[in-house]
Amino acid sequence: MELIDAFETAFKEWDRLVHEVGEQQWDDPTPCREWNVRDLVNHLVGEHLWAPHLLNGETLAEVGDRYDGDVVGDAPVAMWEQAGSGSRSAFHRKGALRGDVHVTGGKTPAAEYGWQMTTDLAVHGWDLAKGIGVPSRMHDELADAVYDHIAPQAGSWHEAGIFDPPVDVPDDAVPQDRLVALLGRHP
């Protein structure tokens, strides 16, 4: 699966799930121990507000702290729609995935940044589905593509505390379960 196709597939599922959050579910827990549903959506909104800037070559210093803290306010769905629209356009812009972008760890290839954002959409989509009690519909092809891309670096992510250690799953586990288990979730 090509990166932009993976991004689009993960994006659509995340978007569907955000629109399924019930008004009384924003404080419900998610598999991300530190985040409730609102916190999780806030995290992704913040990430996607950054994306157009980074894909346009801006540095972290140029973007500054404008997306720190609570970026969803009283309208998490509307803020997701705004952030998602800008991010989606930025990722689909011709040449957006060539070159480098500035991230916390320094410069990284734009394509690698794209895979990181796709991973966030896919895995946090699963988290959001669990948090609001609906089935996750992660496509097998997407789960396999993300798994194949991140498996080589997952160990360093665990060591850095970005994700919990892997969870054992049966050899015949479906691709979605293999992916989320790799990143410390219990499918």
Residue range 26-60, pLDDT digits in tens: 999 999 989 999 999 999 999 999 999 999 999 99
What's the average model confidence in pLDDT over 62-74?
Answer: 94
Q: Nearest CA to 11 among 84, 78, 81, 68?
A: 84
Number of Cα atoms under 13 Å in the Cβ half of residue 51: 33
Report helix, strand or coil for 48: helix
* Domain segments of the chain as ranges: 3-132
Q: Residue 119 in contact with residue 150, Cβ under 8 Å?
A: yes
Contacts of 93 (CB under 8 A, 6+ apart): 55
What are phi and psi for residue 108, nearest 5 degrees? -140, 155
pTM greater than the 0.85 cutoff: yes
CATH number of 3-132: 1.20.120.450
